[in-house]
Every structure is written in structure tokens, then in C-alpha cells.
Chain A
Amino acid sequence: MHDSIYQHGDDLVITQRTPVSDSVVELTLQRGNGGRLPDWAPGAHIDLILPSGRVRQYSLCGDRWQAHQYRVAVQRDPRGSGGSQEIHDQLRVGDRVRFGGPRNNFRLAPATEYRFIAGGIGITPLLPMIQQAEHLNILWRLLYLGRDQRRMAYRQLASRYSNQVTVHTSGHGHRASVKQWLGTPDPHTLVYACGPEHLLDALPDECAVLPPSQLRLERFSSPLADVPVSRESFDIVLSRSGRRITAKSSDSVVNVLSDAGIDVITSCSRGVCGTCEVGVIEGRVDHRDALLDDDERSRNDCMFPCVSRSLSDSLVLDL
């Protein structure tokens, strides 16, 4: 029996599109039926599967107390491989994208004080962290670095929290001293930084005053970022019986199996709880769950068929 409300698809509709700087557009995304989206915590990102099949990761920068929408902010990158340009040039309000996750490699751990360092669009995962620190009444400061004021999104933070936010632009040649800004922090301080490679690479030295476990970095690029998702159908092969079932790329594997008379037990149907895990013997999984980290994904030995599909033409499952 399918339960209509809890067998969610992974389609999102763009319900708002707001420029938040000269080069950054913020998208608000909701389910077509307005339903609840999977829960997330600051530091989480989702995979967006664009109409072209490109898959890109974006940090969630909205408000987790609004359970029915996600927000992401996308910087146009003329030198990138086309994902950001597709979003800027082609995606309009009402268009649909698919999503995976949310996943979180950048969790906000408990601390007595937070120091946030944003380089450019690296501000996005830090926004919900700031909201959360405010909520918990924990001291925080933000160093917001960019090349050019006009390209920096959410600059209003600086006026809203003028005592806590330091904005520094390098447009005129001089670079910011993170070391100076950090000073001598409370020993239980955690530093969270997101930005371009050259910024993050310099931080362990700049933050040497704190032990390495107190510096948390989020890099933009994921090793799995550039796998295009097929729009075609794929085959599911059941290793124990040798049976072969064809799935449309838009079907959930759980539903395809169930239509073929094979019930996988699910609970959340959202890739969150881990109940439906199935072993993968051959084939490349299009992972869309919130459970596996990048290493576990690339091992390719299991999948969560309530949300995940296939990148290869066939997927041999331990069923």
C-alpha cells in the first residue's frame, strides 16, 4: 500500500528568485504540494539536480523553523562548468529541480563562543549558524571577506550586527589579517570558515592560537560534484533471482520494486532514517540520502532506495 502523503517525490518548485548582490541570486524552493521538507541543521547542503542533469551542492541558508521551504544562494561563476550559469540564466520562478539530501559535513558543535569566517559566497552556510548562535544567546563574530562590496551577498548583516561583523574587501590590494581579528579567543571557541581554497588553506596558520579540532572548514567543491544524472531509464537486477526490472529515472526504486512484488521496508521514505538500506553489488548509485558521507557514497556498496537511484544503466542489488 502506498501512503500518498509520506511517499514524497524529490521535485522542488522555485517559488522565489531574489538577487542578493550583483552576482548572487537567492532561490526559495518548495515541494509542489507545499509539504514538509526533510529536516536539516546549520552547515547542511542539498544536491540540486538541474534540468540539464548537472548536479550541484548548495548550502542551505534559510530558516529551519520554516519546514516547508529551502533557501540557497548561488553565485554566478563565469569560469565554472555551467551549473551556476544555468541557474542564473535559465531557471525561473515555477521551474522544477530535483534535490538530494540534505547532508551535513559542517555541523555546528556546542561552544561558548563562535568565530565565523566567510570568503565571498562562503557566507551561505554561516547564515543559519549565526541565527542559531543568536537563538542560544552565544557570543559570535563574523569576518566577511570579499573582493568587491557589490558582489557580496547579505551585506546587511554588517549594519544589523555592527559590533559583531567585520567586512573586509581586498579590492584595493591589502588582505585581511585573520590572526589579528581572532586575537586571543576563549579556549572553548570554535571557528567555522567557508570560502575559496586559498582562504581555507591559509587558516590553520592564521588560527594557530587554537587547537586544530577547533577549526572547522567547509570547502565548496565536493569530489562527487560533477557526475551528471541520467534522464533515461535504468535496470534493477535482483542478484538472488537474477530478475531484471526496468525503472524510469523519475521513479523511486522502492516503488519500482514494490510494483514488481518486492517490498523493501521503509520508515521515513526520505533518506533520513536508514531503515531501507539495501546492499549494492554492481552499478553506480545516484545517492540522494541524508545519511552517507562522501567516503561512504563513493564506496558504492549500499543505497537507500527510498530516495536514491542509478547513474549506471543497471544496478545489481543484494535482493
Chain B
Amino acid sequence: MTSLAASRCPFSGATGAPSSSADGPATHEAPRIASTAAVVDVDPFDEAVLANPHPMHEQLREAGRDLVYLPQYDTYAVARYEVVRETLENWQDFASGAGVGLSNFNREEPWRAPSLLLEADPPRHDAPRAALEKILGPRRLRHYESGWMDTAHRLVDSLLGQGIGSTRELDAVTAISEVYPLQVFPDAVGLTQGGLENLLPYGNFAFNAFGPRNRLVTDEMESIKPVMAWVAQQCPREALSAEGFGADIWARTDHRDLTEEQAPMIVRSLLTAGVDTTVYGISAVLYHLASNPEQYQRLRNDPSLVRRAFEEALRLESPVQTFFRTTTREVSIGGTTLPTDQKVLMFLGAANRDPRRWENPDAFDLDRNPSGHVAFGSGIHQCAGQHVARLEAACILIALLERVEHLEFAAAPERKINNTLLGWASLPLRLHTT
């Protein structure tokens, strides 16, 4: 194993940090250490990079090693498919309990009580995870399918009107992606008290908070407090309807599979991770279909490809771009040994376009089998709501395919900036109906 004292800061043998320059990637390898991380002097949380991360992803993947060092945050990073997937799955060495953002909970106070799922490790992670896996599993979701399909039809009809052969212009983000999940998911959870407008700001803040304390976080510090209070009020048993995911979670306390302290925290997880992500996922597939009209026609001809279209869009877009892990002991990645308690940043979006794994990785291609993409993560922390996201996306896509002959951009789309999520603030579309 490589000696660690030297490799914690790969610059320890170098004379100075390289700076980025416009005409080439700012990468080099630290001298004198036999095997070490490639140093890449980029800021993944710079707003221009957040708006268009793909050039940086390539730089990270092609820096010459499996492991990269980001001097600005004193953090290691992985961006190639295989090593990202391995890091995701290896919970024994790469913990989530110290937070999956930049902040290390072993040393810093989290902004809220840590999640029992996302920010926990086995054994504590076991019971909450087992409960949610069952409750959000594909067989349970069948119960919701026809209702969600009806809601999708109603939404699409209300947007397009009853007439045929017409053309509608709309912003798909504010008219579809941010609307449909809120029409089905809060109901399925069993929220009863109104105030649903809190859900998107809450998710948005939670995903910003995984990054550094930049403007995206500090600007919302005050306004998020009443939102947090609202979220907390939705989680007790009395606040939830008698049927739904929330009630299912609480029912587990009757059987002593969960404690009464755990149940509201797990409901909170649904409310944090269950809305923004599906909004971004639906926007992703609409964006790629609008950008690839011939693929939209393929999908119209063969609607059985909707699931594949969604997975392919998730692969390309990776709505959740990054998560951190923290080493639990000395671990070796690609010949470099990391010390204990070291943050490692995983670039899911970079892995999902790694040419080592995907042919023609930047193309949206319904002939491709997108199996194995890591947009939902992989391993014990893989998105527990993945089947919910898939069902929502499939319902709204099927409803659109039935009515929309083709679609195109009516104006240029605009990025939404978030420290963790990659998505769209606006997707102006022109929809031609049949």
C-alpha cells in the first residue's frame, strides 16, 4: 500500500498548484509519489459548471487515473463508470453516515437531523430501508397505477384541450414536470393538510445543501425555516391519511419493525427525495425527446419503449449528479490509498457518459440498452423510490404520446442551477396534437 502521509495532499511534493487555463485541462500528476490521484483544479459547484457539467466530467474521467483530487475542496473524486459503481456499492468502506454532501457530520453539525436512509449505514440503515423497499416496491405500486394514469390523461387533456389537429405552446417544466408529480405523489403519501407548494422548495434546498455553503444555500437559509416546519408537521401519524405510503410506514411500528421515532423521519425522507427528483426526471425525458424528433416518432410507433426512453434520459441527464461518501478506513482506489474519514465525491453523471462503458455516450438512442446506469445509484442506497419515478414518468409519457403527434422547442430551454441536481427551469415546447 502506498504511504498515506504523503498522498493526502497530492501537492506535498510539488512546488505549486496548477491553475486552470483556457486552452487545456488543468491536470497533472503529483511528482515523486509512485501512485497517486490525478489533480484536477476544477470547481464542480461553480454555477457555470453546474449549468453545463459535461466538459468538466470529461476532464475528470480523462485525467489519467481512477481517482482524482480536487484541491479546492480537499476532496477526492471518482468519475469513471466502474469505479463510481464500485464506490456506490461498497458501503463497508465508503460510509453515508457522515453525510452524503461535502459537510462531514463527524466534524460538522448537519443542517437538519440526518436522514435514516440516505445518511445512515448498516445496521441502523437496515430497518428503514427494508420497510421502504416493500412499501415502494413494484407490486405495491400496481395499486396506484390506474389512478395515476387517469390523472395523467386529465392533465394532458386540460393542457391540450379537446380539439384535434391544434398546436399548443407551453413551458413543459411549469405545466407538466412540476405539476404531475404533485398531483399524484402527495396523495399517495397521504398528505392531507394542503401547503403542497412547500415541497419543491424543500427538495431544492435539501439538494443544494449537499454542496458547499455557496449563494444557492445561504440565500435560502431564512426562507427555508417555515418550509422545514411545514414538512415536520406532515410526518406524524395523525397528519397522514389512513391509506398511503405514510400510513404504511406507520403501520410498521405496530408490528415493531420500526420505532415511533423512526417512522416520521422516514416519511420525511419521502417528502425530501420523492418530488424534485421525479420533476427533474420527467423534464429530462421531455428535453431529450424534444431534442430528438426522430426518437419521439420511434416512441410513438412503439410506446412499449417508454420505460427505455425514461432510463435513457436518466442516463444522459442524471438528475442527481453527485453524492459524497466518507471513508471508514484506509481504502485503495486505482492504486492510491485514501486515509480514514476522507470525503469522496462520486460523479454519477460522468459515469453515465463514460465512453469506457457506453458507446456514443452523448447520444439519446432508443436502440441502446441503458441497463446499469447509475442515475438511481447502486447497492444498498439505490433510490428507494425508483419504481415510483418510473411509474410516474411512464404514465405521463403514455398520456402525451397518445395526443401529441410531434413536439419541438418553441424557444431555448433554460437550466436550473442546483448544487446536486441537473435539470431545467424552463422547457418551452410546441406540441402538435392529433
Residue from B126, B311, B359, B371 in contact with A107 in the complex, judged by beta carbons closer than 8 Å: B126
Least distance between A210 CB and chain B CB atoms (Å): 10
Asked whether, in the complex, the Cβ of B123 is within 8 Å of the Cβ of A108, the reply is yes
Do most interface residues of chain A lie in helix, strand or loop, or is the interface mixed?
loop
Residue from B124, B127, B256, B371 in contact with A265 in the complex, judged by beta carbons closer than 8 Å: B371
Asked whether, in the complex, the Cβ of B311 is within 8 Å of the Cβ of A268, the reply is no
Asked whether, in the complex, the Cβ of B369 is within 8 Å of the Cβ of A6, the reply is no
Bound form: Cα–Cα A267–B138 in Å:
14
Q: Does A233 contact B (CB under 8 A)?
A: no
Q: Does B308 contact A (CB under 8 A)?
A: yes
Least distance between B387 CB and chain A CB atoms (Å): 6
Q: Known contacts A108-B126, A267-B376, A267-B382; decide if A213 and B371 are in contact (CB<8 Å).
A: no
Bound form: Cα–Cα A143–B421 in Å:
51
Asked whether, in the complex, the Cβ of B123 is within 8 Å of the Cβ of A136, the reply is yes
Q: Does A239 contact B (CB under 8 A)?
A: no
Report the nearest A residue to B374, measured CB to CB.
A267
Q: Does B62 contact A (CB under 8 A)?
A: no
- Which one of A23-31, A81-89, A224-232, A270-278 contacts B? A270-278
Q: Does B130 contact A (CB under 8 A)?
A: yes
Q: Does A39 contact B (CB under 8 A)?
A: yes
As a 0/1 sequence over residues 52 to 90 of chain A, the CB contacts with chain B under 8 angstroms (1 = contact) are: 000000000000111100000000000000000000000
Q: Does B110 contact A (CB under 8 A)?
A: no
Asked whether, in the complex, the Cβ of B90 is within 8 Å of the Cβ of A266, the reply is no
Asked whether, in the complex, the Cβ of B138 is within 8 Å of the Cβ of A213, the reply is no
Q: Does B257 contact A (CB under 8 A)?
A: yes
Least distance between B403 CB and chain A CB atoms (Å): 25
Q: Known contacts A3-B357, A107-B126, A267-B376; decide if A214 and B92 are in contact (CB<8 Å).
A: no
Asked whether, in the complex, the Cβ of A274 is within 8 Å of the Cβ of B137, the reply is yes
Asked whether, in the complex, the Cβ of B256 is within 8 Å of the Cβ of A109, the reply is yes
Asked whether, in the complex, the Cβ of B259 is within 8 Å of the Cβ of A263, the reply is no
Residues of B within 8 A of A263 (CB): 308, 369, 371
Asked whether, in the complex, the Cβ of A107 is within 8 Å of the Cβ of B138, the reply is no
Q: Known contacts A3-B357, A39-B380, A275-B386; decide if A266 and B372 are in contact (CB<8 Å).
A: yes
Residues of A within 8 A of B138 (CB): 274, 277
Residue from A6, A42, A108, A265 in contact with B311 in the complex, judged by beta carbons closer than 8 Å: A265
Residues of A within 8 A of B255 (CB): 213
Do most interface residues of chain B lie in helix, strand or loop, or is the interface mixed?
loop
Q: Does B139 contact A (CB under 8 A)?
A: yes
Report the nearest A residue to B358, measured CB to CB.
A1
Residues of A within 8 A of B376 (CB): 267
Bound form: Cα–Cα A268–B376 in Å:
11
Asked whether, in the complex, the Cβ of A109 is within 8 Å of the Cβ of B257, the reply is yes
Which B residues from 68 to 88 make CB contacts under 8 A with A? 82, 85
Q: Does A296 contact B (CB under 8 A)?
A: yes
Asked whether, in the complex, the Cβ of B369 is within 8 Å of the Cβ of A265, the reply is yes
Report the nearest B residue to A107, measured CB to CB.
B130
Asked whether, in the complex, the Cβ of A36 is within 8 Å of the Cβ of B256, the reply is no
Residue from B126, B127, B308, B382 in contact with A273 in the complex, judged by beta carbons closer than 8 Å: B382
Least distance between B62 CB and chain A CB atoms (Å): 20
Q: Does B341 contact A (CB under 8 A)?
A: no
Asked whether, in the complex, the Cβ of A6 is within 8 Å of the Cβ of B372, the reply is yes
Residues of B within 8 A of A267 (CB): 371-373, 376, 378, 382, 386
Q: Does B258 contact A (CB under 8 A)?
A: yes
Which A residues from 221 to 275 make CB contacts under 8 A with B? 258, 263-269, 273-275
Q: Does A132 contact B (CB under 8 A)?
A: yes
Bound form: Cα–Cα A111–B127 in Å:
11
As a 0/1 sequence over residues 32 to 54 of chain A, the CB contacts with chain B under 8 angstroms (1 = contact) are: 00001001011000000000000
Least distance between B420 CB and chain A CB atoms (Å): 21
Asked whether, in the complex, the Cβ of B123 is within 8 Å of the Cβ of A132, the reply is yes
Asked whether, in the complex, the Cβ of B256 is within 8 Å of the Cβ of A213, the reply is yes
As a 0/1 sequence over residues 99 to 114 of chain A, the CB contacts with chain B under 8 angstroms (1 = contact) are: 0000010011111000
Residues of B within 8 A of A3 (CB): 357, 371-372
**Across the A-B interface, the 3 shortest Cβ-Cβ residue pairs:** A263-B369, A266-B371, A41-B126
Q: List 28 A-B contacts (CB under 8 A).
A: A1-B369, A3-B357, A6-B85, A6-B372, A36-B89, A36-B90, A39-B379, A41-B130, A66-B92, A107-B257, A109-B127, A109-B256, A109-B257, A110-B258, A111-B256, A132-B123, A136-B124, A213-B254, A258-B369, A264-B371, A265-B307, A265-B369, A265-B370, A267-B371, A267-B386, A268-B378, A269-B372, A274-B387
Please list the residues of chain A having a beta carbon within 8 angstroms of any beta carbon in chain B.
Answer: 1, 3, 5-6, 36, 39, 41-42, 64-67, 104, 107-111, 132, 135-136, 190, 213-214, 258, 263-269, 273-275, 277, 291, 296, 302
New contact pairs (14) apart from A67-B92, A213-B256, CB-CB < 8 Å: A3-B357, A3-B371, A36-B89, A39-B91, A41-B130, A42-B123, A108-B123, A109-B127, A110-B258, A265-B371, A269-B371, A274-B137, A274-B387, A277-B138
